[in-house]
Structure 1
Amino acid sequence: MASVFAINEIMGNPKLLPNVTLGFHIYDSCSNSRITYRTTLDMVCKSHSFFPNYQCGIPKNLIGVIGGLESDTSTRMADILGLYKIPQFSYGSFEPAANDQSNCPAFYRMVPNEILQYEGFVQLLVHFGWTWVGLMTMDTEAGEHFSKVFETMLSQSGICLAFQETFPKNVHFIGMEEIVTLFLNIVPDFMRSTANVIVLYGETASIAWVTGIIFVKTLFPITAADYELSSIARVWIMTAQMDVTLHIVQRDFKMQTLHGAISFAIHSKKVQGFQEFLQTINPLKAKGDGFIKDTWENAFSCSVSTDYVDDLCTGEERLDSLPATYFDMSMTGHSYSIYNAVYALAHALHITYSSRFSRRAKEDGRRLAPHSVEPWQIFSLIQRISFNNSIGDEFKFNEHGELVAGFDITNLITFPNNSYVGVKVGRLEPQVRPFSQCNEKCPPGTSKKKKEGEKFCCYDCTSCPEGKISDQQDMDYCISCSEDQYPNKGKDHCLPKVQTFLSFEEHLGISLATLALYFSLVTALVLAVFIKHRDTPIVKANNRSLTYILLIALLLCFLCSLLFIGQPNKVTCLLRQTAFGIIFSIAISSVLAKTITVVVVFMASKPGSIFRKWVGKRLAYSLVFSCSLTQLGICAVWLATSPPFPGQDMHSVSGEIIVECNEGSVSMFYCVLGYMGFLATISFSVAFLARKLPDSFNEAKFITFSMLVFCSVWLSFVPTYLSTKGKYMVAVEIFSILASSVGLLGCIFSPKCYIIILRPELNNREQLKRRNN
């Protein structure tokens, strides 16, 4: 109910997560390891069958998990949730094994550091002069750790242990006879001990054990002396992990057995409106909440289901009429922790939305959808969150993922009607030390720098260098963010990088794709015009077949530029540069063949020329085939030795992960470009020399100009390509492909199209010969 209340408050707050709806699912671990793993997997995978080592798809609306109350539950949940970096808030676990934040970076405890509680026990015992105490701990790894540390602290303060016993964790799941037998066998020291103060270290389930052992000791004293001791009031000192709200199976136990107990409790305050919210609960109107139905039926001994005629619940039953041992109307420490955990997740999510929106809004003017935020993107923000909740309490974590707070000390007062009240009698705060340093501490975002000639205690604070952060005070050096993150402006925490590539959805990608398709259509129309007028002199001149090959190659050149747009994958990466290199080589080879054909025809026109045998289509086809085959061989070697592959560039652009095609071998890429440049240079040279040959159908002038444009484009491409990064590097190559192709198309074919379409009277042999003369 505390989590529901917090969510309702957040939804009603226009300044926190506006236009975002929060929801939740509740799972019951049943204090069972198998069920804990099962429900955690179900929460992550949303499936009815699970497979070992299978990577589940995390539901896009899952942003965090709150649980569990016991250390075993929390640890087992962290085993799974930590793999996916899903933030987990444990609201009652002090598990020492989970304190290493490097092992569980997404694990946060809504409780202070446990060592503070140890010190509080010792201070309390010293304050009252209790030097003869008993110790009972739960038989777990956490209980063993507590025993070792606490016994050492007691001996240092002059306090002796009268006895030390352990008890099983889940004793409340067995029957009364087994409980009696177990108690009589494992706690003889407790039965005979004269120690009137007993420190109890356990969890919520331990309450069943405490009430049971006192119950058995009262009914079954071993000796007359034990009978006298059974009437002596014991003072129980309990840890904050324990909750005195009893389980349903303990309703018959007397609360008076815990009268006068002193308990360290997680700090809590009265939350305005919470009790009124509880009064509005009605099991008949609760949809999708089976917990309310079960709780209501057990509490009021009635049935919500209409299948039963007798003892139907009316919904008018009042929760405040129940004893506090069964349902506490106040917000307890654990409930207060859950309340704050919901707010911590909400604030982290709000910051993530705000930061990502502010960065992306300038680019595309669109707000990100809620489901675009993943759990791993907010877990690193939680540790740096600091806010005041609705009551005014400050909320933040330390570097170990523990709540920066103290403990309340409560005295348990019970009444004959089995009700109780926890009276706050003290507060345990972390030690406050006076400030005495040479200089102020270096804030996050800076690191310490030694002052020359000064003591090592005196230092300057220098801003972290580019690409590094410091997320704590007085750091000796700055640290780098992980590869998928980058520093914020303050250099005090890392933000998730955004994946970028030239897509069809952005303006630049749309513009380039539109140009490519437009010029592809123009080329296709030119090809159609030449096919339709294939028998006219201007089309038949300079080898009609070469003209078709050149136009088809240019059409494919325009279309191959589309391979560079969109998210790179294995296929497109293999095809991008190789298709571009081979198709352009065919186009340039066709141009070279056209130029050499003109030269050979002119040379063969001279009497006795040895070039007569080269006149014909065989020479042109041989040139196109051999030049293209060479480029094909270069590309084949490239793909066989070090082919291109999709990759991610984490470092070139700050704040971005560039999804790109890694060329595999850069030298092979430049070999492809170099070979095209070689062919273009030869074509330009031959066309330049043949530009003034006396032939009516000599197109060497146009070829010269087209190759000049082609070479200019690709000479300027290399330095521009090397000076750009990310999607703009891809855009430069696409632009170069389009510009050079347009140069060939326009310079070679526009004069011919002008004559064919607009001046058809000039498209005959007599007119061309007369114009030439």
Structure 2
Amino acid sequence: MSLQVLLLLPLSVLVLLLCAVCGAGMGFSVVEETLQEKCINLDASQNLDGDGFYQDGDVIIGALINVHNLAATPDLSFTRKTELASCVGTWSLCTDVFGRIIFYKRVLNFFQEHSVHWVQAIVFAVEEINRSPSLLPGVQLGYHIMDSCSRYPQSLMATMSMISGGNKTCGTTRPAKVIIGDSSSTQSILLSRTLSPLQIAVISYLASCPCLSDRQMYPNFFRTIPSDAYQARTMAQMAKRFGWTWVGAVVADNDYGRGAVQVFEEEIKGMGICLAFFHTLYREQLAKDVARAATTVQASSARVILVFSWYVDVEGFLLELMRRNVTDRLFLASEVWSTSAYLLANPQLYTIAKGTLGVALRSVPIPGFDAHLQQLHPDRYPDDEFLRTFWENTFSCSLTKSTSKAFQNALPPCSGRESLEGVQSPFTDTSHLTVTHNIYLAVYAVAHALHSLLACTPQNNSDPKIKLKCSSLDNITPAQLLQHIGQVRFTTRSGEEFYFQDGSMPPVYNLVNWQRAPDGSLKYVSIGQVDENQLIINESAISWPGDSGKMPVSVCTSECPPGTRKAIKKGLPVCCFDCLLCTEGEISNSTGSIKCYRCPQEFWSNSFRNECVSRETEFLSVRETMGITLISVAISGIIITATVAVIFLYHKSTPIVKANNSELSFMLLLSLKLCFLCSLIFVGQPSLWSCRIQQAAFGVSFVLCISCILVKTIVVLVAFHSTRPGSSGLIKWFGPGQQRGSVLVFASVQVAICAIWLSVSPPLPHRNFGIQGSKVIIECTVGSVVGFTCVLGYIGFLAVVCFLLAFFARKLPDNFNEAKFITFSMLIFCAVWIVFVPAYVSSPGKYSVAVEIFAILASSFGLLFCIFVPKCYIILLKPENNTKRFLMGKA
């Protein structure tokens, strides 16, 4: 209990509690006798006999109704004795621009007309029971209804007055045997703990804190409303259903609000839902708390706000948000304001409150209650202070017994002909009875328990060995009544069975949605229900906030789409995360995935990383641009080579063709054609035969080509050296037969190398998964690196020898020195293949094949152009130089 409560709690109450606890051995009768006979003044700070509404009877039911919302703050300066402020405030006259009276309002506190509705529920239920021939026959129930003022000091003082039977004159009123109330969980906790030693039952109609379900802590507490645990669980289920993972909370700063948030946080564990913020509203500093909460809501990305608070506090909060133009939030309303007619009737809230989803108490009709309300009149209940105030508010007239002289003087007197018949107002509307029905049930629960007590029959126990003590009207004790209330079970007038489940009502709720009516006002519409833990919602009937009509998205971070994974942000709740794209070769095919999964080897992730697809096979295809280009160049080389061969064949009898050893020239042209042709084998999808043939064909073709050039070079050297004295025999030793034999010998060495290579470790087609992840590179492995090196090495060896010999013969006296052109051709050839090696090793996939083809074509064209283009130039364009005299340099 807070310091303020201790300061405001009269010392006599503490003395009573001390006596009750310490004197427990004497039994409750001693305490009751003290209360009844010695007339202890339990509310010494002020006499409360004249407050509230009292109706005498054989058994008195005490009731606490928060008719006023807030009492004035007491003076805690400690300069004088602290007195509790009255719940009744002053009135302020409001006029229009012409000076006419418009309305009157409380300055210090707020009069709640719906609470008068609740008061009349008690009056109606007691009168109905007193008229019943079957329930409590011969017993007249009475009631003592007092204003709790929505604050625990006033609530506790009123309770002390009711259970003591009054303080002005002993015996003027009977003490209450049971207390119905209070509306607040905090006040109910205080009452239960205070009255527990006295074994006086407390039956609340609106206190829903889950903490009050603890029967060890609150054995004398009962309620006709379900615990907030079910309500908070329902809201958590709604958040999960609609995908709201980032939810804010604004609650009353009491056990009702804090208890609801605690249950909500427990429910959302493991659901992936987080609480974005948590603010409390304390009524004594409401303006400050509302401003602070509104600032947080405005800055937060949460679009769904959980609100557990009294409707007056909710109004202040919503109006502050409206003032800041924050109108795109959806509010989850607790049962205490989800069906508030006061809020629904406020035009300032039409925009911001549209779309509100709420958990509402089940509405049950009370037969005859509407007629009772329409027949109300202050003359019928002259002692009902609450009805008099309501009457003056409704008809803007003054009754002679008005408690406020300022108000009485400001209004014209009532004529006495005022009537509620035909008046359309929330007070006379009995179509949605929720809390009113809870109060009605509480009165009937007391009546049935009292009936059981007087009839000596257990209500829900069939064991004949268990007998309850009988009692009579003269010696009924609160302890006996408490025992019977816990076992009460009866059928209501609507045909439903009523009983207490751990002191509470079984959880049954309606789900409501605030929607625009045709006239632009707000109304709540039922969109579903909650029965035990089953949530039933008609989503198509929901009207969402805003003009778009779409369900709001309330997340800290939007769920990671397929193809990404969650990465928790350090220091933030689990609902706040980054979405990282899955790496290549990994996928996530569901929304909100926390990890990515590796695709099987034959598959790869698509561009969206949400599906494994078959890897694309890659090779140098005849259908792609690069393959077509290389094939075109190779075919061009073949055509050019064939054209040169035709030219040479046509002019084979000319000196320039004869001088260059026509037989070797034709063999060289044939080998060049084979070089161009072998490049075509490299294009296309590698297969077993293509992998084996391409390298062998390449090696043999080039060796044959280089061998022809080498022999031609040797012939040039021998021919010029044979002109020297004593050297005429050289040409005989290297005649046409030796030349053809030399070419075959040089070529046979390469054939032998290729044969050994292909037989020991031949090249094979291979599916390479490691070069480009999304593609399968189909390539030919070299098989034996040694074999491939030997093939290239032998070609290189012949080319180097040929280059050196041609280099030595480049300055021989001749107008057409073929050795000079051979030197250039070998220089190009060697340069191409020297560059080829690093380029081939570093090129991935099909590009390595393209590099090899390019090297074959470049070197082949180099040999073709350097050796044969000069000759073709003379044959075709300079025929006058195609003479032996010119070639010998004698022209």
Q: TM-score w.r.t. structure 2 length? A: 0.41
Q: TM-score, normalised by structure 1?
A: 0.47
Pick the structure with greater CA Rg.
2
User: Higher helix fraction: Structure 1 or Structure 2?
Assistant: 1
